[in-house]
Structure 1
């Protein structure tokens, strides 16, 4: 399908274990990435009863940055750099894997004991080739540090990159669009063409795009250079992502992203030999998948 043709992507359910599933939108067989975004998971919303939590065991990444953004709940991040950070709604955890990092994500003890709702988005942003082998790093940005403004009944919040005249403090490696839009009923706004590649994801609400309804939990990839109108027939919640086109295709294998397959093979060998690193205080080891 041509990139000039709007595309609606339906989610695929992906099991994270212990009965916890996510909706995966990217990568997709018809569209592998939008701007630098090569992975897009919608987590929940899920009710976690007392005693139950999310446990993503230590695992490696290369060639990307992970971006965790929550609407409800909490998630504890630990990595091989020694970073320890609980992320809560509205915060941003941006982890640059570069040449290699290991991290785990778990429900904090307080929420696990009490039970809670979990809801958020996790994305992977492919690093430009010149930064693929950069040193790993981790940054946390509190909710209060992200720019927001109200525009004709729409609350705009820029998570990463630049859009709508707002600049996020999150460090990015290429022109990036990542924003949260909360509509009052009846609000209308136009999505500008300042970024070449853009996609909309409706988390909830009755949203029409140029007069055509867009079902919730669908990713609409917009045609480049086309300004579209979003109209909310009810209160609505929308994510907007994209940016400049990637500087070439990427191979995605397990948790590794690379412009050169040899980097994937090297990462496999490094993980088996436990050369990428370990998360302090955690000893679990996930073997490479069979495929």
Structure 2
């Protein structure tokens, strides 16, 4: 039932730690999900420096999905969007042929508090990799919920459990937030060929195996998966139909290595527009490592 368990790898992003789960060296993607970071949890005191913010940077070939358990984050992008995301909401940004954006912690800088959430990337299918960039924000009314048997659930994106979120997706997928009471059991159906569960808080038991906070269990296809909460737990379910091989370099995703090279050249040369509301600084392209460039990182 469990094919693989992936431990998050903690990384400091300049005063703010994340737990990176995907991509993993032996398992790059789960359905279209190609990147999965647990932001925090981190406690901030009011007045912390702006260096913690994520300055403007570019993307191609993917959609970014931001979802918070605690805290707030201000998104600004090159298609003119400015949006504060708060717990229970979704920011869905489709990069397509190219977008730039920043993520600022302005509310936390003013008031202090906890940042805790998930940043995921969903790779676009080949026919949509060069689509026009776009941004959408979705409140709780766009995201179906269910409660019963010691479980509360919210469908963040895609289709699952007979429901569909009002978030535009480009390929068959699902993304779900479960909150489970200790002792409760819920079942992930065998609806999609690629599925995983990430434990954001607490401990669960799957197929007789303990899965701890910060671990992602990747499942074999074709069987429903019962998940029992050993403690109160938050579990993120994700997956969908595979979309084929993708390459990653820095913030760029593509089915073509040549397209990655072009995106890097465009950013280096200043050919990608910065957000109108946040165009005074940006993150420069990191230097290429010595020797042949890696296909994925």
For structure 1, the residue ranges without an aligned partner over 5 or more in a row are none
What is the match of residue 272 of structure 1? 268
* Farther off after superposition, 127-136 or 206-215: 206-215
What is the match of residue 65 of structure 2? 67
CA contact 2:2–2:207 (8 Å) conserved in 1:
no
**In 2, distance between residues paired with 1:210 and 1:234?**
16
Equivalent residue in structure 1 for 2:238, among 241, 244, 248: 241
For structure 2, the residue ranges without an aligned partner over 5 or more in a row are 289-297
**In 2, distance between residues paired with 1:286 and 1:146?**
33
What is the match of residue 260 of structure 1? 256
SS in 2 for 1:6: strand
What is the match of residue 8 of structure 1? 5
Matches within 5 A, 1:84-233: 84-108=82-106, 110-233=107-230
CA contact 2:142–2:167 (8 Å) conserved in 1:
no
**In 2, distance between residues paired with 1:115 and 1:156?**
28
**In 1, distance between residues paired with 2:199 and 2:282?**
36
**In 1, distance between residues paired with 2:227 and 2:27?**
22
Query: 1:229: how far off?
Result: 1.1
**In 2, distance between residues paired with 1:30 and 1:130?**
26
Query: 1:58: how far off?
Result: 0.4
Query: 1:5: how far off?
Result: 6.1
Matches within 5 A, 1:47-86: 47-52=43-48, 54-86=52-84
Query: 1:111: how far off?
Result: 2.6
CA contact 1:66–1:124 (8 Å) conserved in 2:
yes
Equivalent residue in structure 2 for 1:23, among 12, 16, 19: 19
Equivalent residue in structure 2 for 1:251, among 247, 253, 263: 247
Query: 1:144: how far off?
Result: 2.8
Query: 1:151: how far off?
Result: 3.4
Query: 1:286: how far off?
Result: 2.2
CA contact 1:206–1:214 (8 Å) conserved in 2:
yes
TM-score by length of 1: 0.95
Pair 1:33 & 2:33 matched = no
**In 2, distance between residues paired with 1:111 and 1:207?**
31
SS in 2 for 1:263: helix
Task: After the TM superposition, list the runs of 4 or more consecutive aligned residues in structure 1 that deviate by more than 6 angstroms.
Answer: none
**In 1, distance between residues paired with 2:202 and 2:82?**
35
Query: 1:65: how far off?
Result: 0.2
SS in 1 for 2:13: strand
SS in 1 for 2:122: strand
